[in-house]
């Protein structure tokens, strides 16, 4: 079928059916081109505010907000300081040939690593990503409640000397990267500039890295005293993007296109649910105030959920706040569909 004919048939079907779209990566690119066919949306863990720096001061957002949630989640579980000490021990050992050989063996690498910084950033990438997927059930290679599981590895670790902390970090990386107890790690390197913007990129050779270089690059930094240093540097990042992809970031594009935080003030959007979990580093860029609720929508802020957890399949270990919210979300969605169906029927 010709692409234009296919697209026409698809849009005709969507107009007739009035669809509900979960606002996440796989669908938003198509439907933001055809917003008129959408009746409502569940914006789960949608950090639109992180792209809206003009509203940061009023919302209490800073360049450290994303990473501060990472710190809070590990601190509440009781091991953030131990993680910092363990990473420092790895960095210290990686400064010598014998140390690199010992670390390569400890982490189960297929071949000894050469770039010490890339190896350390490979470890910190795992630590920074785990809070986003801190779910009550196992996911991929991660155990249930992975932050709690990580901290349990450090219960008896001598964090200050790194005697056992290094071994604990090795276990964490095998969980996160899905290596398991058998086999060796083929690649243990993160080559992003200074370890990458927290939670982001850019990174050469990936679609997400390319998107970070065009429109989704975040103005994030790492606070002092963390396991790595990182200060936002727009010029260096722009140059890195140009070298990798031949493009430069359009940092203000998303706010200008979407309205950013102004969506809640203009009140021109309807039937939109904002939901965020406080265990998720992305939540600080969300719509968290009850006054942000739009006509036909709701605002949910969960104390004990991670990234878009309400979109995951129900689990017996889901917190009660999530169980209640899912029921409300489903009722709202049914109402939107019924109202849209009635409106469509009356137009014929």
Q: Per the structure block, which two tokens stand in for 176?
A: 């996160």
Average pLDDT for 272-277: 98
Average pLDDT for 203-217: 87
Rounded distance between C-alpha atoms, residue 36 and residue 168, angstroms:
51
HSE-up (13 A, CA, CB side) for residue 143: 14
Q: Per the structure block, which two tokens stand in for 32?
A: 């933001």
Preceding amide of 227 cis, omega within 30: no
Helix (H) or strand (E) holding 41: strand 38-44
CB burial class (10 A; 0-12, 13-18, 19+) of residue 342? exposed
Domain ranges of the chain: 15-44+261-346, 65-176
CB atoms within 10 A of CB 208: 13
User: Per CATH, the architecture of 15-44+261-346 is what?
Assistant: 3-Layer(aba) Sandwich (3.40)
CB atoms within 10 A of CB 182: 7
Task: Find out whether 177 and 185 touch, Cβ atoms under 8 Å.
Answer: yes
Task: Find out whether 236 and 195 touch, Cβ atoms under 8 Å.
Answer: no
- Mutual angle of helices 80-93 and 65-77, in 10-degree steps: 110
Average pLDDT for 260-281: 93
Q: Does the pLDDT of residue 3 top 70, yes or no?
A: no
Q: Does the pLDDT of residue 156 top 80, yes or no?
A: no
65-176 matches 15-44+261-346 in CATH topology: no
pLDDT of residue 24: 53
CB atoms within 10 A of CB 155: 11
Predicted TM-score (pTM) of the model is: 0.88
pLDDT of residue 208: 85
pLDDT tens, 200-209?
A: 878 877 888 8
CB burial class (10 A; 0-12, 13-18, 19+) of residue 304? middle
Instruction: Report which of 185, 165, 164, 166 is spatially closest to residue 174, judged by C-alpha positions.
Output: 185
| CATH class of the region 65-176 | mainly alpha
* Residue 293's pLDDT band (cuts 50, 70, 90): very high
Average pLDDT for 95-123: 96
pLDDT tens, 25-46?
A: 556 666 667 777 889 999 999 9
Q: Does the pLDDT of residue 280 top 50, yes or no?
A: yes
Task: Find out whether 228 and 120 touch, Cβ atoms under 8 Å.
Answer: yes
Sheet holding 38-44: strands in order across?
19-22, 38-44, 272-277, 299-302
Task: Find out whether 85 and 165 touch, Cβ atoms under 8 Å.
Answer: yes
pLDDT of residue 27: 61
DSSP state of 293: P
HSE-up (13 A, CA, CB side) for residue 157: 30
- Whole-number Cα distances in Å, 276 to 22, 90, 281, 322, 327: 14, 34, 10, 11, 16
Q: What rounded mean pLDDT belongs to the chain?
A: 89
Q: Alpha-carbon Rg of the chain, whole angstroms? A: 22
């Amino acid at each position: 079928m010709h692409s234009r004919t296919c697209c026409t048939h698809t849009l005709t079907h969507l107009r007739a059916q009035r669809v509900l779209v979960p606002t996440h990566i796989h669908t938003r690119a198509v439907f933001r081109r055809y917003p008129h066919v959408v009746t409502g949306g569940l914006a789960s863990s949608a950090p639109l505010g992180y792209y809206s720096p003009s509203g940061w001061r009023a919302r209490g957002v800073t360049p450290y907000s994303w990473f501060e949630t990472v710190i809070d989640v590990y601190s509440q579980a009781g091991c953030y300081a131990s993680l910092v000490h363990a990473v420092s021990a790895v960095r210290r050992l990686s400064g010598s040939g014998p140390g690199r050989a010992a670390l390569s063996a400890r982490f189960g690498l297929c071949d000894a690593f050469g770039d010490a910084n890339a190896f350390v950033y490979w470890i910190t990438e795992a630590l920074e990503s785990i809070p986003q997927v801190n779910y009550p059930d196992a996911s991929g290679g991660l155990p249930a409640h992975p932050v709690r599981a990580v901290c349990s590895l450090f219960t008896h670790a001598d964090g200050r000397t790194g005697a056992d902390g290094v071994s604990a970090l090795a276990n964490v990386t095998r969980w996160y990267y899905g290596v398991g107890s058998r086999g060796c790690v083929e690649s243990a390197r993160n080559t992003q500039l200074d370890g990458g913007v927290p939670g982001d990129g850019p990174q050469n050779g990936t679609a997400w890295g390319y998107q970070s270089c065009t429109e989704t690059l975040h103005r994030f930094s790492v606070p002092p005293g963390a396991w790595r240093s990182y200060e936002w540097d727009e010029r260096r990042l722009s140059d890195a993007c140009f070298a990798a992809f031949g493009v430069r970031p359009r940092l203000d594009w998303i706010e200008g296109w979407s309205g950013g935080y102004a969506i809640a003030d203009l009140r021109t959007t309807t039937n939109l649910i904002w939901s965020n979990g406080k265990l998720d580093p992305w939540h600080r860029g969300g719509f968290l105030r009850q006054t942000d609720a739009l006509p036909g929508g709701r605002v949910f802020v969960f104390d004990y959920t991670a990234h878009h957890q309400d979109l995951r399949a129900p689990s017996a270990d889901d917190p009660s706040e999530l169980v209640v919210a899912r029921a409300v979300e489903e009722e709202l969605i049914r109402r939107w569909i019924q109202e849209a169906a009635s409106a469509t029927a009356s137009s014929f």
